[in-house]
A and B are shown apart, each in its own frame.
Chain A
Amino acid sequence: MAIHERLYSRLADPPRARGQSPALAISRYGARYATRGWFTKLVLFGSYAPALVFCFIIYLANQNPDQVPQAVSMLSQGQHVFDDVASITDEAWYRICGIMLWSLLSIQGWLALFLTPLVGAHQIADDLRSHAFEVYLARPISSWDYLFGKLLVVMRPVLQVMLVPTFLVMIMASAFLEGSFGACWTMFPRVLVAVLIWSLVNAMVILGISSMGKSSRYATIIWFVASFGTFLLSVLLGQTTGQPLFDLIGLQQNLYFVLWEFIEFQPFEIRELPVLDVQREVWPSVVILASLTTLSGWLVMRRIASGRLP
């Protein structure tokens, strides 16, 4: 190794207090590496498959106007049957849209369940294991910057899985199913808010779990216990006791309840399923999700405080 030939040069414009947002910096570089694994990419790209099926049905209906009633029936899972397009009222379109989005988001929600640990389990655990935490601590960032940065890293792919395919289907429906846009345009902001809440809860919970130790593997296991495990437990208890009230145990069910509320989905067709208490109010789910999110946030902040970020 030769003695270096380049001289050190000072910056003409040194960083100032109001420069780049540290949260955005953490998010940008974190997101670049969070979705690098082949399995993560498979889940991300695979998440478009259900939406493409929906889009294909809508496109075919557009190409064959006679088959629009049949397509609408398919999209509404057989709940709405019409003889011709003209007989579909705005109210019916709205309900059809709700059922269609419910079906799609149910699938996307499960994909998000698998994607969340893939991108989130290692976020804080790896920082602890590799001492990268020390590097963040020595920079002029606050605890909130770190938390928001990491939240954005996890929320971004979850939003990608849930929001992009849903909006794709909604745009296709608005463009190709005449009369649907006028009746259903309010679904866009509703879905947006619902999915934001969904991804926020998922991201915060996985970060809370990730901050509990240095192993992303254990974090993944705990996540599946907290999400899939509670889902199975609630179904099991519901089936055994005949009391659907146990759906309160499941993280996934509570998320579905909130989504349900936002898109004003009328759950008549799944009333037979004992895994969800369709009669109950949404607020118990809101309280449970808010508590989980707060608890997870507290876990992360406690971990940061041990290293003393300002």
Chain B
Amino acid sequence: MSHPDLSNPIDSTAPIISAKGLTLTYGKSLRALDGLDVSIPAGCHGLLGPNGAGKSTLIKVLLGLLAPDDGSGTVLGRDVRKERTEVRRRVGYMPERDAHVPSMLALDYVAMMGNLSGMRSVAATKRAHEVLHYVDLGEARYRPVDGFSAGMRQRLKLAAAIVHDPDLLFLDEPTNGLDPQGRRYMLDLIGELSRSNISILVSTHLLPDVQEVCSRVVVVNKGRVTNEGLVSELTRGLDRQYDVRFVGDSGPFLQALETRGVECHFDPTAGSLRIMVPDGGTRPVLEAAAETGTGLKHLAQGSRSLEEVFLESIEEGADGHS
């Protein structure tokens, strides 16, 4: 279902977030954003980076909470410097920390957030009931927020972030402090929201979460984007890289491979073999196996985990920076 805000339509072809040369320095020397350039299309995206990389600062700049020293940025086509209020009207933000009004009932809290986003009070209250049911807090909506568990608080923050039906959601560590069941539930919710035509930017340290719900990732390190792209593309292995599992003596087999120009990385404890074949394809592997009488159980193009991609990006970023 497309967003029916006809008075202020969103150009679906334009990036939902774009930044050019964003620079922000805390104090005199701590450079949190260092000429950051990024262009993010609609969809569900992961914002990755080590501690102090500039992820939270980037979100705060995009929300208009911090003014950059230099550069420009737009969110949903709105300038983050000049149209902060309009940006916030169309963006939902789920902060990392617990942020609730003490002793307030969950329903009132979510309804107030809707009210503050410009909804009429009756509509905000009705919508608060809906979203609290949606995040499975329907039974607890008349309870004070103070007594909520960590999982309930996370879902309450999500409800508050979506009460005004934003076009873009910033989720800061949404699965933080959740047990496996709660994490599973939160990821399901995020997945479904992204399928509801809401763009999402998830800032997290938990790479499996990103791999599960995000189609794209942006890796930030030392205030710069060091890698970005589709998760499927980033985790795809190099063209000549293969994973091999075999039955037989490893020594002669590895020797036969190396004599054919195949680069081998063998882990004897795990019994896994990763090879880099020459340009001719997998033929040398099959020949080596036939020659040494080794039985091949598995031969497939290798893939990289997101963690590997992340660590490589961080290292590249560090090298590039130095």
Contacts and interface: CB of A to CB of B under 8 A. Distances in A.
Interface of A: 1, 3-4, 6-20, 22, 25-26, 28-29, 32-33, 36, 122, 126-127, 129-142, 307-308, 310
B98 to A, nearest CB: 6
B101 interface: yes
A245 B292 CA distance: 109
B97 A131 contact: yes
Given A14-B3, A138-B63, A310 B117 contact: no
Contact of B95 (A3, A26, A135): A135
A100 to B, nearest CB: 40
Contacts of A137: 63, 65
Contacts of A307: 65
B3 A10 contact: yes
Interface stretch (B28-36, B158-166, B203-211): B158-166
B201 to A, nearest CB: 14
Contacts of B66: 308
Interface of B: 1, 3-5, 7, 63-67, 84-86, 88-89, 91, 93, 95, 97-104, 108, 111-121, 123-124, 127, 130, 133-136, 160, 162, 164-165, 181-182, 185, 188-189, 192-193, 196-198
- A8, A13, A22, A138: residue with the most chain B Cβ atoms closer than 10 Å: A138
Given A29-B108, A135-B113, 13 more contacts: A1-B136, A4-B189, A10-B196, A11-B164, A12-B4, A19-B119, A22-B116, A29-B111, A126-B102, A130-B99, A137-B63, A140-B117, A140-B118
A32 B108 contact: yes
Contacts of B64: 308, 310
Contacts of A6: 133-134
4 A-B pairs closest in CB distance: A19-B118, A15-B118, A25-B115, A11-B165
Nearest to A216: B102
A138 B119 CA distance: 15
Contact of B85 (A26, A134, A142): A142
A33 B134 contact: no
B141 to A, nearest CB: 14
